Copies of this chain bind each other. A is one copy, B any other.
Amino acid sequence: MDQRLSLITLGVANLTKARKFYVDGLGWKASAASDDAIVFIQLGGIGLSLFQHDALAEDAGVTPGGASGFRGVTIAQNVPTKGDVDAALKQAAKAGGSVVRPAADTSWGGYAGYFADPDGHLWEVAWNPHFKLGTNGELILPPPK
């Protein structure tokens, strides 16, 4: 299996509300492939999609369940400066997200905070001096040993 990831799909309670957060609030542009049932957003070399929670469970062939609390998954955006962390959290809050961990220095020598989108999906915004960002914003990890 190739060492790749193409798409991350977030289950949402209300697609209109989720779209409003990401597109109107964060200012991200939706792909023309989006419609009333799904929203696709290009994020570098991968896609983010927003899809109704129960429909996503059905698509995966699992029961929707009542996932409450921590989902066991977080998404992160690494940014070039500490100030960018503060600015992103501020924008997310203004757009209708909630800051769940205010930005602060981290144990690993960085500066980061978390916000939750309207459906509770957790985004970390991090300045990490150990990981490089490429010219197109791609994350460049240290290569394998």
B-binding residues in A (CB < 8 A) = 1-11, 26-33, 40-48, 53, 56-57, 59-79, 87-88, 91-92, 100-101, 114, 119, 121-122, 124-126, 130-131, 133-134, 136-145
Contacts and interface: CB of A to CB of B under 8 A. Distances in A.
Give 3 nearest A-B pairs by CB, closest first: A65-B69, A45-B138, A61-B101
23 contacts: A1-B92, A1-B125, A5-B75, A8-B8, A8-B75, A9-B73, A9-B76, A11-B72, A31-B142, A31-B143, A32-B143, A42-B139, A44-B46, A45-B46, A45-B134, A56-B74, A60-B74, A61-B100, A62-B69, A62-B100, A65-B69, A67-B70, A67-B72
A33 B129 CA distance: 12
Assembly of this chain: how many copies? 2
A32 B69 contact: no
Given A29-B144, A46-B46, A70 B65 contact: yes
Given A73-B8, A139-B6, A32 B145 contact: yes
